[in-house]
Chains A and B, each alone.
Chain A
Amino acid sequence: MAGSRSFRQRLVDTGTTGLFILPCVITLSLLLIYPFAYGFYVAFFKTNLVNKWTFVGLDNFVKAFTDSKMYSALWVTVKFTIVVVALHFLLGIVFALLLNKDIAGRTFFRVLLVLPWLFPEVVIANLWKWIFNASSGIFNSALQALGFINEPMSWLGSMTLALPCVIFVCVWKGYPLVMIQMLAGLQSIPTDRYEVAKLDGANKWQIFRYVTFPGLKPTLMVTLILDTVWWFKHVTMIFVLTSGGPVNATTTISIEIYKQAFEYSNAYGYSAALAVIVFAICVLISLVQRRLLREDDK
């Protein structure tokens, strides 16, 4: 009888647990799983998403892997992501270390350095678009006034300068997030570790190498994964600044996906296939980064 009651109790407990989890499961299913599954499903069709659905099997994937445009867009994406993320971390760590010190006006500098992160991406992209504008941009005017250039330059219209300019804007926009994470990480490192290191005669570099860096590593890795995936699939600022141009100089894979779906021939199936490939790449990136972290811990 006791066993039966216990079984019933277990059933009730399971039901209660299930009830608590249910809202989360429903929300996740609606917001994440359904769109993902739908996107994956669409990748196997030639479709206008409404009344024309022709099953094409793996054709969209075959086309993607044989299309030189995808490789060219992927290469631009890889260059863009590596440089943006590397500079985010460089600036983020340097500024976090500075702001972690007891310097005069620390609050003011904290607010100032976080400002780019507070503005919407569209606003920032439009702002820099006008700053870089060839005919009436303040950047050209300043360089001309200082005598660095004789005539206006087309920064966002140059095949060689457009990507560096886009990277610069994305670094400017994105470093505060890394800085805040690093600052939080730095402040969670117990101060007695620094005291012990100093007592042991460690110099500044050794303190950073053996105390600060290991203490920051968990935050560092989470931020690295988030930042890499975020910028790998970034669209907004690149689209506003250059729309992927000139020619294909700043066409990342996400820009290519958007154009395939909405600007070329409404190739929703093909662009969904590209999106599935990007998803796989992002999963791979996060797996590699997690593996590296685990191996390093061992």
Chain B
Amino acid sequence: MRKVRNKFTASLLAGSVILSGFGAMGAAAEENAEVTEVKYLSTTILETPEGDFEQEMIDKFNEAHPNIHVTVEGVPAGDLNAKLVALATSDDLPAFVMGSETTMTALYDMDMLASAEDVFDADYLEGFVEDNIASYYRDGKLYGIPYFGGAQGIVYRKDVMEELGLEVPTTWDEFVEVLQAMTRDTDGDGTIDNWGIAIVGTRNGSGATRFQPIIHNFGCDEFYQDEDGMWQTDIGSEKYTAALKAFTDLNNEYGVVPPGVVEVGYPEAVALLTSNQANMLITGSNAIGAIIAQAPELKGKLASMPNIPVERSVSAAGGFAFFITTKDEEEQAAAAEFIKYFLEDENEIDFAELTGRIPIRKEARANERVSSMPELEGFLSALENVWIPPTIPGYNEIEDILSESYQAVFTGTMSVEEASAIAGERAQGICDAANNE
């Protein structure tokens, strides 16, 4: 009898365990069913100091929104386009993607984008600074939600400038004089160990996008449409040749650039500033965060100025945006919820203070904590005249065209005129292809 009772009790227990197991599974399934999983690709998650901030935002968001779970996959900026094509061909794109205007062009070309106007309400979209949102339109529709802005300018060592009694230059000649004065032998061993400016001279987008503002300020437009709507280029023109000469003379003629200019990528250029080997850097405002993260002792010693005006003074609004790639409305709504959270004014301002990346929401941009940052002053004034990139097909190639031409002159492989002519031929090829499409 006892045996039977034991068996009965055991069966009852087992049954209740199984039933409670099913119950728990059911509850879990119900809970999972309510959670919308959203994944996105990010390049800044791999960078310092941006990555920690971004991860903190994701964690806070997930905690505050139990019905949405955001995850991120880091991709190095240089690999982003290749990664996107691979994901798109296998129909495996995440819910949204972070990237630049060229990223958007690639996604738009592949018909992978949802219009931001279908996901975000008009009132919210009106809160963005117009210049920052302008380059994310295609055929009258908005496809990108700006994440941060990135004016082009020059970061310099304010303390060194003051120590040497130098004024902020306003013309190219003054610029060269200041750089020459900053190029010195600081330890008295007879060799120069401190140079005026670090130039990113590698043959890639990182170098090319730092040469672009120079050619723009020399009055050169890479591509523009004439009255008949035909694409034309200033590359290879006298203005381009003059810009190329002025830029490469900094190394070849005046020697105000550390040795090995064509080897210097963005990380190496930042390292030259943080190791007190260079005093200026043509860059976006994000360099401020990168420099201070590596050398906190430089906090308060950095300032910025717009790129030197020659024929004009312009700056691309630059920066990155979020692009919605999922067609699923639930995922779109969840992605929008996260993006709005990420771009709340307080978060944007904290992000700007930490990284030097410029806020793109009107109220955050106007906030005193941003406008009073001495490191951002020059970049913010550069944004008074924003240059909008052209939408010509094949625009990506311009980065290689520009970087090939300055490398050819830096290395002495070609004269300025030869390099300019070759760049002009390549740019004309892009115009011809676009005009014939």
Contact = CB atoms under 8 A, between A and B. Distances in A.
Interface stretch (B16-24, B60-68, B395-403): B395-403
Interface in A110-165: 133-136, 150-159
B413 interface: yes
Chain B facing A: main interface SS: helix
B411 interface: yes
A289 interface: no
A262 B393 CA distance: 15
B396 A154 contact: no
Contacts of B259: 134-135, 151-154
Interface in A194-253: 243-249
Nearest to A258: B82
A247 B263 contact: no
B180 interface: no
B318 to A, nearest CB: 19
Interface string A260-278: 0111111010000000000
Nearest to A159: B411
Nearest to A265: B394
Contacts of A52: 109
B112 interface: yes
Interface stretch (A43-51, A71-79, A87-95, A182-190): A43-51
Interface in B385-430: 393-394, 396-397, 399-400, 404, 407-408, 410-413, 430
Contact of A158 (B110, B258, B411): B411
A145 to B, nearest CB: 12
Nearest to A38: B89
A159 B268 CA distance: 20
A49 B203 contact: no
Contact of B400 (A154, A261, A264): A264
A245 B203 contact: yes
Nearest to B396: A265
B412 A262 contact: no
B161 interface: no
Contact of A50 (B89, B264, B396, B399): B89
B119 interface: no
Contacts of A261: 82
Contact of A266 (B85, B201, B262, B277): B85
A264 B395 CA distance: 9
Nearest to B112: A50
Interface residues of A, number: 34
Given A154-B262, A244-B203, A246-B262, A135 B85 contact: no
A259 B78 CA distance: 12
A133 B400 contact: no
A246 B393 CA distance: 27
B106 interface: yes
B397 A265 contact: yes
A266 B263 CA distance: 25
Given A265-B397, A266-B106, A50 B88 contact: yes
Given A51-B111, A135-B258, A264-B396, A159 B413 contact: yes
A48 to B, nearest CB: 6
A244 B262 CA distance: 12
Contacts of B88: 49-50
Contacts of B407: 245-247
A285 B381 CA distance: 60
Interface string B196-211: 0000011111000000
B191 interface: yes
A219 B423 CA distance: 49
A267 B192 CA distance: 45
Contact of A246 (B85, B89, B411): B411
B271 A136 contact: yes
A251 to B, nearest CB: 9
Interface in B302-357: none
Contacts of A133: 260, 263, 268
B289 to A, nearest CB: 22
A264 B258 contact: no
Nearest to A52: B109
A102 B215 CA distance: 66
Nearest to A49: B89
Interface of A: 48-52, 133-136, 150-159, 243-249, 259, 261-266, 268
8 contacts: A49-B88, A133-B268, A134-B258, A150-B191, A151-B259, A157-B410, A246-B410, A259-B400
Given A244-B203, A247-B404, A248-B404, 19 more contacts: A48-B85, A49-B88, A49-B89, A50-B89, A52-B109, A134-B258, A134-B259, A135-B258, A151-B191, A152-B260, A154-B263, A155-B260, A157-B260, A157-B411, A246-B407, A246-B413, A261-B82, A265-B394, A266-B106
Closest 4 CB pairs of A and B: A134-B260, A154-B260, A157-B262, A50-B110
